[in-house]
Amino acid sequence: MNSIVILGAGNVATHLYSVLQNSENTSVIQWYNRKLDRIQSVQNECLITDDLKALVEADIYIIAVSDDAIADVSKNIPYQNKLVVHTSGSVSLHDLDKKHQRGVFYPLQTFSKDATIDFSEVPICLEVDNKTNLPLLKTIAQSIGSPYYRVNSDQRAALHLAAVFVNNFTNQLYRIGHEITESKSVDFDILKPLIKETAKKVETLSPFMAQTGPAKRNDKKTIKKHLKSLDKDIHKDIYELLTKSIKQTHGKKL
């Protein structure tokens, strides 16, 4: 059984703790966070600490803290030549202290503490500076039922950037849609089947082929009507920018 220490108590760390602790092949033997009250609830399941100097020896240390804190946390792990990985999409492997065996265990998914996550739907992006450590990371990914991919730092950064577009920006568009329906006292839930079908289509079609709507059709009358209906200037700007992008993609005259 692979012993694991988790460092951090944010959304990713919380979900990883749960799935790793419930796996037959892994055991979280210690959980570190600088604020102990965030992890107090698991003190009967594993060791907890708010002191990096008190970390115990383990097979792997998983750093799941804010990007800006990764380098400092790795530097202060009181062991050398241990396998230390971070979970960030945008931080280089080489930001980890070079006294360690370094790696990345990046779960490409959106995490909220109160939302249940099925890790069979969470691809894990793996990177190591020593290929002998790759089998261990693969084993851990397999133990939680996740598909895994070996990607380098540049590829992972591209995936993270793309994820901001398909997840964070898309969610903000949901929020704008919610504001628009609220302004007319329409139930946003009416749009949810459309949201699901849009996501479902790209499982079998490329985003290019899946595109529909007034911008692709170059339906100037509808576009003009939509812009007139929008109350907020920022919503108009977003509508116009995305319309322009779709037109350029599909070869329509601007």
pLDDT for residue 100: 96
pLDDT digits (tens, 9 = 90+) for 11-63: 999 999 999 999 989 999 999 999 999 999 999 999 999 999 999 999 999 99
Residue 44 three-state SS: coil
Q: Do 227 and 109 share a structural domain?
A: no
The whole-number average pLDDT for the span 145-151 is: 96
**Enclosing domain of residue 19:** 2-151
| 145 and 185 both lie in a single domain | no
Q: What is the pLDDT of residues 214-226, one digit of tens each?
A: 999 999 999 999 9
Q: Does any domain span residue 194? A: yes
Q: How far is CA 240 from CA 12, 62, 124, 237, 248, in A?
A: 35, 43, 36, 5, 12
Backbone angles phi, psi at 109, to 5 degrees: -165, 160
Mean of the per-residue pLDDT values of the chain: 95
pLDDT at 253 exceeding the cut of 90:
no
CA–CA gap between residue 64 and residue 91 (Å, rounded): 12
Q: Is 176 exposed, middle or buried (0-12, 13-18, 19+ CB in 10 A)?
A: middle
Please give the single-letter amino acid code of residue 177: G
Residues 147 and 170 in one domain: no
Q: pLDDT, tens digit, for every residue of 153-180?
A: 999 999 999 999 999 999 999 999 999 9
What pLDDT is recorded for position 113?
78
* 3-class secondary-structure state, position 124: strand
Residue 13 sits in a domain of what CATH number? 3.40.50.720
- Provide the whole-model pTM: 0.88
pLDDT at 114: 80
Taking the CB of residue 254, how many other CB atoms lie within 10 A of it? 7
- Domain tally, the chain: 2
